[in-house]
Amino acid sequence: MKESSLLRHSTATINALTIDVEDYFQVSAFAPHVPRNEWDSRECRVERNVDRILTLLDEHRTRATFFTLGWVAERYPALVRRIVSAGHELASHGYGHERASDLSVDRFFSDVDQAKKILEDVGGVLVRGYRAPSFSIGAGNLWAFDVLARTGYAYSSSIFPIRHDHYGMPDAPRFAHRLSSGLLEIPATTVRLIGTNLPASGGGYFRLLPYRVSRWMIRRVNLVDQQAAIFYFHPWEIDHTQPRIAGINAKTRFRHYVNLHRVESRLERLLADFRWDRVDRVFIDRPVH
């Protein structure tokens, strides 16, 4: 069957749906404009947005993985328990949304260890997965994987094998692979075209590009690469009325706010067009070489 014909057929592959649980003012690009000592004085919208996502997932009988900040879990423990009671996987996004590439070994250990303990205490479940804020593990800090293994994580989804001005490791393996530490790394999904990895896993690209492009890319990964995709988005991406951050430049403004009003309806289509489940069920029990 030709590739063009193959991609028109639906896929039975089960992909992994993930949500990075952070609030709108905690985005890495806003760090110069929103000091951490102001976080508690900001209007928090993460709880209402996650509740909307939980309702959406329930309507589609879909389970997902919630990579959650320890900072959020401390302030909204009931929300964390709602995530767990609804059958979703609770995973770690670190404690305070500090980029792994900005931390020393000791500070990174403290961040991921603290987050894991808080989430497990609040959620009452074992936390096995971690995602670095802004996919901030790359060639310059691969030691982070050893730290994650040492603190008891089983897998990471922290590498984006693309070229980007804020993150990326384009030469990294595109699909799930076992590291020397025993940790399983599950990179953000890409499509390989003309010798280049193109992002196919959500985030700002899902908002910027027409939905049909994202759908085509995921289908290609499922049917041509014969791999499960991993898709991600943030609670603030379904909240087009969120407060605007003052003083940011045009590039940051565009990246953060473009097409926020379209995301929820696109997610509805995504949930209908593909089969989804938690990361642990899609990847952890599947043999990876």
- Which residues on neighbouring strands pair with residue 66, listed in sequence order? 19, 90
Q: Is 202 part of a structural domain of the chain?
A: yes
Is 145 a member of any domain? Answer: yes
Q: Which two tokens stand for residue 150?
A: 């040492």
Helices (H) and strands (E) in the chain, counts: 11, 11
Q: At what angle do helices 143-150 and 105-123 cross, to 10 degrees?
A: 40
| 289 within some domain | no
Residue 206 inside a domain? The answer is yes
Kindly report, residue by residue over 100-120, the tens digit of the pLDDT: 999 999 999 999 999 999 999
The pLDDT score that the predictor gives to residue 140 is: 92
pLDDT at residue 289, as a whole number:
45
Q: Is residue 273 part of a domain?
A: yes
Q: Tell me the residue type at 228.
A: A
Q: Which stretches of the chain score pLDDT less than 50?
A: 1, 5, 9, 289
Task: Identify the domain containing residue 225 by its residue range.
Answer: 3-284
Whether residue 158 lies inside any domain: the answer is yes
Beta bridge partners of 61: none
pTM of the predicted model as reported, rounded to 2 decimal places: 0.94
CATH number at residue 17: 3.20.20.370
Are 124 and 82 spatial neighbours (Cβ–Cβ below 8 Å)?
no
In a domain, 57, yes or no: yes
Closest residue by Cα to residue 278 from 117, 134, 127: 127
Total domain count, the chain: 1
Residue 252 counted as domain residue: yes
